[in-house]
Homo-oligomer: A and B are copies of this chain.
């Protein structure tokens, strides 16, 4: 066994032991530990910002892009927000121990499905150092031990955040191994995490497409993955034009770089005001790709690839479709199963869309940018799952648990 494999195996064994303790911790005790961790993060604010400054200097020297530098950067306000997020997680309802379903069988055996933690969760992420606090706190609040592997460019920031987090958690009564940070940036450590038989119960990649695809390809453990958000807004003929314009502008332009952003606008052939709609997008600074014969020079010609592209930028593709079935088949062919919306006044058409669109999130008369754990009332999110198994859409504490069957009898045998 290589040194890195041994390191990960040892961390896994310690995580497994910590998971047993965490699973048995009452909700109030977990919440107290998280509040202590939030306080510790606030107190360590200067040290965290100083560590981050060293990462930033190295990143600048290494020629990181402005976007990546912004993701990496911490300042006192961002550290405070990180601490607040941990404190907010402490206030969430703890799913552990809640009863999913229960009943008594004719033979008198009482059976309940009870929520329990998943166990040991691995998080593999990139440059955002706040994930260290955020993911660690979410895993721990749901009673799981976490093994965190952050990006090498955030190494010093992550170490400082992790030190404060663990100091707080242990002061609050959690085991020191509840949240562990992989101390090496050796790429082999990720491989060891992903392969480890019985090491992790779940791995969650958080980052760009490349990272997620690599984790999915390598993992021998279950993956909770967020892939593309090629999201559509379908503006039906019955849509109120003012509502359609407001939703489309918000869905595309409120923030262009988030996974809930609209990437393709589908306009029904019978929608009365398509020109006004695309003009509003253009005026807001959005490049559009589609068929100039349909829309004029306001759009540039789309290539086949455009319909499958997650731009994450002030660009969208736009197409005319013939009715809801045509919209649904476009989405089935090109969508990524993340978030799709219809704008329509016709309730029957809208309900047909909601029923037949097979995405994790389907919306009627609302912006796709609501695809967010906070907006969904989950209080936080560890990610938005585009897989179909286990949890789908925004995933928070409940998605970090499973259930077990608990049977209480008085001597029942099958016989």
**With A250-B415, A388-B119 as contacts: A408 and B364 at CB distance below 8 Å:** yes
Interface flags, A171-215, vs B, CB<8A=1, else 0 = 000000000000000000000000000000110000000000000
Complex contact A412–B109 (CB within 8 A) = no
CA distance A405 to B370 in the complex (A): 11
In the assembled complex, the CB of A297 is this many whole angstroms from the nearest CB of chain B, namely 28
Instruction: Tell me, yes or no, whether A375 is within 8 Å of chain B by CB.
Output: yes
Residues of B within 8 A of A404 (CB): 358-362, 392-393
* Minimum CB distance partner of A376 in chain B: B111
Partner of A367, one of B254, B332, B414: B414
Which residue in B109, B240, B359, B365 is a CB contact (below 8 Å) of A409?
B365
Question: Nearest Cβ in chain B — how far from A98, in angstroms?
Answer: 12
Tell me how many chains of this kind the complex includes: 2
Docked complex Cα distance between A407 and B343 (Å): 12
A327 at the interface (CB under 8 A from B): no
- Residues on the B chain within 8 Å of A359, using CB: 404
| Chain B residues positioned under 8 Å from A363 (CB to CB) | 406-409
Q: Does A66 make an interface contact (CB < 8 A)?
A: no
A370 vs B251: C-alpha distance when bound (angstroms):
51
One digit per residue, 1 when the CB lies within 8 angstroms of any chain B CB and 0 when it does not, for chain A 238-256 equals 0010010011011100100
Query: How far, in angstroms, from A356 to B243 measured CA to CA in the complex?
Result: 53
User: Does A67 have its Cβ within 8 Å of any Cβ on chain B?
Assistant: no
Closest to A372 in B: B414
Would A412 and B367 count as touching, CB distance under 8 A? yes
> Is A410 in contact with chain B by the CB < 8 A criterion?
yes
Judged by a CB distance under 8 angstroms, whether A413 is at the interface is: yes
When the two chains form the complex, which single residue of B116, B202, B392 contacts A358, counting CB atoms closer than 8 Å?
B116
Interface string of A8-44 (1 = CB under 8 A from B): 0000000000001001100000000000000000000
Kindly name the residue among A119, A365, A407, A411 whose own CB sees the greatest number of chain B CB atoms within 10 A.
A407
CB-based closest 7 A-B pairs: A366-B409, A250-B413, A363-B407, A369-B414, A243-B411, A366-B412, A361-B405
A-B contact pairs, 13 of them (CB 8 A): A20-B358, A118-B388, A201-B388, A201-B389, A222-B387, A247-B411, A250-B413, A250-B415, A364-B407, A365-B412, A370-B407, A392-B403, A393-B405
